[in-house]
Amino acid sequence: MKDSGIYYSLGALLYTAADNTNIIDDIIFEKFNIPFSLAFSFDTTSNDAEADKAENVLVKTLDKLFVAKKERNFYIPKLFIRVLSTAHIPHLYKKFGSLLDLITGFILPDFSVSNADVYIYEMQRINSVLSTPVYILPELDGIALLDLKSRYIDLYSIKERLATYEDYVLNLLVSTGSVLNSFCVRRRVDENIYQSSPVASLLADIVTVFATDYILCAPAFEYYAGIGWEEGLLKEIEFDKMNGFVGKTVVHPKQISIVNDAYKVSSIDYDDAQSVLDDKKIYQVRANVNDTRMNEPKIHYSWAMQVIFLAKYFGVKKY
């Protein structure tokens, strides 16, 4: 497992268009439930001219954020840029310059065996000259991983490539929208992705290969309004957590508070985690604080460390 809290702090990852001119005021005046992370995406651009225009808007956004931070204190989320391609990385470095100090990392879309080496090479070049690290969030190409004949080879090949850059891999992202679409499936508000056997199988394989060394952020839940959406999101997060995911991509600001509350640590888990990590009890197997389950330090150590990291970022529930 990762031994630094930053890897567990992605939380609710909200996407917005790179040319969103309103988002800066939303950040400065803290209109969103905090904490959260924010990703600027160029998905809406259809050609180089539109991408260039969106980049110019984003430069102004980051510059305004930089100036505003000097004038007043407010929460700045972890900021990410979802690049268009491997070639987009050096282009952004040249264009954004020192403003990249405000960026936590780059989201690398359609990350696969075919482009992993180039992505990592370009990021190594950038980090070799920057004073603060720029992390990466590889977004695994779910469609490419549907082929069962090559899935395991591809997953372990990707892991082998990432191992050369492991400390800079903040989280792994998994998108399931295109996978569901390939099966002509769209879930209802009271359904979750784990009820689709092919998707559940894909997620299980990804977690099995990567979760021992990396933190995985769960796929988005598309509903954010209407009857039952909160219950549906909470239920899916329960499955996310049980399957080894930490944090979740969100599609609307209304989802942020749901994710934050779901990742708050219960007081029982927090007390148990502290007990497990107590050096004096490291070899003891004993009942937990309310005598309902057994704490075994050798078995529960990694779980306990994660609980402590999550508690620092999301807090502890009072019940």
192 and 73 in a common domain:
yes
pLDDT lower than 70: segments of the chain: 46, 279-283, 319
Which pLDDT score, from 0 to 100, does residue 319 have? Answer: 67
282 and 221 within one domain: no
pLDDT digits (tens, 9 = 90+) for 104-120: 999 999 999 999 999 99
The pLDDT value recorded for residue 130 is: 85
The H or E element containing residue 79 is strand 78-82
Please tell me what DSSP assigns to residue 206: H
Mark which of 225, 248, 263 sits at the end of a domain: 263
Give residue 231's identity as a one-letter amino acid code: E
Residue 139 sits at the vertex; the CA angle it makes with 136 and 145, to the nearest 5 degrees, is 140
Number of domains in the chain: 2
CB distance 102 to 62 below 8 Å: yes
In a shared domain, residues 192 and 45: yes
67-81 per-position pLDDT tens digit: 999 898 999 999 999
Residue 178: the pLDDT is 87
Question: pLDDT at position 44, please?
Answer: 72
- pLDDT at residue number 26: 94
pTM of the model: 0.94
Q: Estimate the share of the chain in helix, then strand, then coil, as percent rounded to the nearest 5.
A: 50, 15, 35
Domain boundary among 228, 246, 263: 263
* pLDDT score, position 65: 94
Domain shared by 44 and 176, yes or no: yes
Q: Quote the pLDDT of residue 297.
A: 85
- Give the structural domain span for 308: 265-318
CATH for 175: 3.20.20.60
